Structure formats: structure tokens, C-alpha cells
Amino acid sequence: MMGLFPEFDMAPAKPLKTILSASRRTDIPAFYMEWFMAGIQKGFFDVINPYNQYRRRVPAHPHEVHSIVFWSKNFGPFLQGHYDRQLVQKGYRLFFNFTINAPSPELEPHVPPLAERLRQAKELARRFHPTAIVWRYDPICFFRRGKNLVSPNHIEAMDDIAEALAAAGIRRCVTSFVDLYGKVKRRMASHGVNLVDPPIALKCDTLMQMAAHLHPRGMALGACCEKDILDKLPTDAGIGAGDCIPGDILARLYGNDFTLQKDPGQRRKAGCTCNIAADIGSYRQQPCYHNCLFCYANPREPGKRNA
């Protein structure tokens, strides 16, 4: 029976769901899907904050999870194991950040050949809506060899990648410039590569060139955590902030029963616009074995090897 105050007789709102990020800190699809599926089976992940060592329990039952955002440079093991189908059958909704850079064995020594990674991207686009796939061309590096300033992510090298991904229906590319962390500079210097931070004008020109190559293919370019550069671009450049966990797209794909809030744990001052999510990876417990020279998550120092 309706009460005297019908405005208070509404059913309580359903609790908002969590977005799982798997993961900014390592490559789970390439190396740790058995571990990930064990957490899914338990219905939770115990995550240790890498900065303060605080342990939190992240819920992972299907009714608690809005979507899972996977990050990888190699979705081969993920696809071969049909983990996507297992997760979908359990009721999970999936989203993919796929990093595909210009071939550079020196900088990315353990990623599969480019042709294989493009095949994987096409297969993902076949199994899922292409809107659920973001191409990350990341990071853009500049370094000196002798007196010459060099970028291994040549603009020309984008064309073949962009052509293949556009044909698969993928329409979004996110990029950023490498962060010059001390351990990254030392690691690269040990390989004879002197990493440098180019002038902002060169960064702006690089993004403009990239956009000029992508726009004719119907692809949008976003820049991740590059607010200072975006502020310098022309207003009609057509380059926006590149949120890697895009709340608006996830809501359109899978509904908006999650907190539409920017993630306070990310680099907001630098321009990060990612939606809040729970990252369940670990730098130490699940080290990444791609061993990319420029990666902040790579724990390897010069003269040392990952265990």
C-alpha cells in the first residue's frame, strides 16, 4: 500500500558498479590471465597500493562490475585462450586499450611482430564492437644519437597501422609523450639512447601531423595527460584529451550504472580525464615481461634482469 508520503515510497537506488582496470601496471592479457580468472572465480581481488602499501579488496562478481578495461600490447594469449568468451558468458562487459606502436625492437624488444598485433586487433573488432577498442600509439619518444634528434615513432609508420585499424572499424587513437623518469633515462642511456624532452612547439607539430594522417580515415586523436600541449594547439585542431577509461563511451556501450567521476588517483593536473576505476594489477606481483625501455612500470635497471 502506498504510504502517506509517496515521494518516500520509491524503491532504493541500486548500488553503482565498479569499473575494473586490468591494468595500467602490467600486461594481464599477455601474461596473467590464469591469475585474473582465479580472482574472477573468487569474486574479488586483493590489491596493494604501490605507494603506501595499503591493501584493499576490489569486488569482482558480475553484478558488482560495470565493465573490465583490459590494457595490452599482446592480446594473443587472451584470444587464444578464449578468455573473452568465458568472461562474457559469466556476464562481464569488456573494453580494450591496445597499444600498437611503430616496430622498434630496440625500444620494445618482446612484443610480437606488427602483423600479428594487427591480426589480433582485427579479431577483437570482429568479436566485439569496434567502439570498445582504443588504439594507443604510446609513448612518442625523442632521443639523441650524436647531434641528431630522433623519434622512433615515425609519423609515416602510423599509416600502415591506421589503415589496418580503420578498416576494422576502430576510430579512436590515444597518444602521449614519454615521461622522463630517472630510471627510464638511465635504462635507455645504458642502451646508448639519450632520451630528451623536445620543445613544446615540436610536440604540437607532431600531434598536428598525426591528426592529419588519422582524420581522413575517420579516426579521432586524443592526447593523454598532455594538458600543456593541448592548451597550445589551435582550437580547430580536432585533438582532445585522451581518456583511456572513457566514462561517456562505456556508458553508451553498457549503461551508466557506475560513478561518472574523474579518477582522483590519476594525474588530473597533467590533464588526465579518465573515469574512476579500480586497477587490480601490480608492478611487483605481476611484473611485465615486455621489458620496453621507455616504460615506467619496467622495474629493470641497467645491469639487472627481471626475475
Closest residue by Cα to residue 62 from 35, 94, 33 = 94
Give residue 195's pLDDT.
85
Q: State the CB neighbour count (10 A cutoff) for residue 262.
A: 16
Alpha carbons 294 and 298: distance in angstroms, whole number: 8
Work out the burial of residue 154: count CB atoms within 10 Å of its CB; fewer than 13 is exposed, 13-18 middle, 19 or more buried: exposed
Give me the number of domains the chain comprises: 1
29 is a domain residue: yes
Domain that holds residue 51: 16-279
201 is a domain residue: yes
What confidence tens digit (pLDDT) does each residue in 225-240 have? 999 999 999 989 999 9
Whether the predicted pLDDT of 152 surpasses 70 = no
What are the beta bridge partners of residue 56? 47
The residue whose grid cell reads 557506475 is: 258
* 189 to 46, 301, 307: CA distances (angstroms): 36, 11, 22
Query: Among 59-63, 134-138, 182-186, 191-195, which is the least confidently predicted range?
Result: 191-195
Query: pTM, whole model, 2 decimals?
Result: 0.91
What confidence tens digit (pLDDT) does each residue in 71-119 have? 999 999 999 999 999 999 999 999 999 999 989 888 899 999 999 999 9
Over residues 255-281, mean pLDDT = 92
243 is a domain residue: yes
Q: State the CB neighbour count (10 A cutoff) for residue 8.
A: 7
Closest residue by Cα to residue 278 from 13, 56, 111 = 56
E strand or H helix at 238: none
Is 56:44 a contact under the CB 8 Å cutoff? no
Alpha carbons 272 and 225: distance in angstroms, whole number: 5
290 is a domain residue: no
Whether the predicted pLDDT of 209 surpasses 80 = yes
295 is a domain residue: no
Give residue 132's pLDDT.
98
Alpha carbons 194 and 200: distance in angstroms, whole number: 18
Alpha carbons 188 and 266: distance in angstroms, whole number: 25
Average pLDDT, the chain: 90
234 is a domain residue: yes
148 confidence band (pLDDT: 50, 70, 90): confident
Give residue 1's pLDDT.
46
> What's 232's domain CATH number?
3.80.30
Left, alpha or beta for 214 (phi > 0: left; psi -120 to 50: alpha)?
alpha
Q: State the CB neighbour count (10 A cutoff) for residue 158.
A: 22
Is 150:144 a contact under the CB 8 Å cutoff? yes
The residue whose grid cell reads 610536440 is: 203
What confidence tens digit (pLDDT) does each residue in 297-306 have? 765 544 443 3
50 confidence band (pLDDT: 50, 70, 90): confident
164 is a domain residue: yes
Spell 184-205 as b/e; 16+ CB within 10 A means b. Answer: bbebbeeeebebeebeeeebbe
Percent helix, strand, coil in the chain (nearest 5)? 35, 20, 45
Is 105:88 a contact under the CB 8 Å cutoff? no
Query: Among 145-154, 205-214, 244-253, which is the least confidently predicted range?
Result: 145-154
Whether the predicted pLDDT of 9 surpasses 70 = no
292 is a domain residue: no
